[in-house]
Structure 1
Amino acid sequence: MKIYFAGPMFAKSDLLYNEHLVKQIRALEDSIEVYLPQENGAINDKTAYADSKMIALADTEKVLESDLLVAVLDGITIDAGVASEIGVAYAKNIPIIGLYTDTRQQGSDNQKKLAALGTTAENQFHYLNLYTVGLVKLNGRIVSDEDDFLTLIKKQLTS
């Protein structure tokens, strides 16, 4: 199975988290091939040069070759490149699994947090772009836990 890993990749913390998740995915089964864009030095070595067309063509080719796209949805907003990769996968009916670990999603039954929604600038929850979320949900699922994320990937191996 070919998996495209979409995740933010510009902060050291992003790079390390991506490596952490991909290591776990690769350990699921020997037949899994994971494309992690940050490992493609031809377009993502930031000390070198790759123009926008080179990056778009290389990553789009890998999305289109994939059997599954997995995406990290964390961040201030969903990373623009991740959102684009999700759009390509959706358009080609490639299954998508999103991982959204932001802790602000917790407490959805807390009455004080819910009441705060009616007060300007007191939203206690994190917002994700609903268009991008909808594309993921139309072709797959979003989970908030790494174990659930890996379990869904395992299920894709047998389907």
Structure 2
Amino acid sequence: MEKYTIYQAGPLFTEAEQAWHKALSARLRDAGHEVIWPGDLLTDEQIQNAGANASALIFDTCRLGIERSTCVVALLDGTQVDDGTAWEIGYAYAKGLPIYGIRTDFRHAGETRHSTVNSMIEGCLSRLVRDCETLVALLEKGLEYNKK
């Protein structure tokens, strides 16, 4: 199985979100992949010390993480995709990276009854899965690239 450098996108503002991301990161690392997760890239102290430059620090650090990656895994739960996650997906798509969306949320969030998430997000995805097991299995088969 090929090993990838995975940028793990998704909201990280609550303890529940952070715990979910940490568990997924551990699972992907156990499968032999390198994981770049924004929650691991900067400490609270680094962000506080950046003062007025904190936004630029976060932006540049995450952007460079995407640029180092071979694919993106994005958590798409919620009534609407997190705005930072949406940007990360769009940037990765523009770079031609495969993007795997994971949505464990059973609620409908797209514009049509056939949509799972916003059409602009769904259109960027190489695949959309509903659980971590399927995601890991897909990565074992090899990356699926976006069709541009």
Task: Identify if the C-alpha distance between structure 1 residues 45 and 95 changes in structure 2 by more than 3 Å, giving closer, same or farther.
Answer: farther
Matches within 5 A, 1:1-159: 1-29=4-32, 32-42=33-43, 48-50=48-50, 51-104=54-107, 128-136=117-125, 140-156=126-142
Structure whose alpha-carbon radius of gyration is higher: 1
Q: CA deviation at 1:141?
A: 0.4
Aligned residue identity for 1:145: D
Q: Deviations over 1:3-42 (max 9, x none)?
A: 100011001100000001111111112xx21001101225
* Structure 1 unaligned regions, length at least 5: 106-116, 118-122
From the superposition, tell whether residues 49 and 74 of structure 1 become closer, same or farther in structure 2 (CA, over 3 Å). Answer: farther
**Per-residue CA distance 1:94-136 (angstroms, 9 max, x = gap):** 011110111235xxxxxxxxxxx9xxxxx9x996221111111
TM-score (norm 2): 0.80
Q: Do 2:41 and 2:61's aligned partners in 1 also have CA atoms closer than 8 Å?
A: no
* Count of equivalent residues: 135
Flag as ranges the 4+ runs of structure 1 deviating above 6 A: none
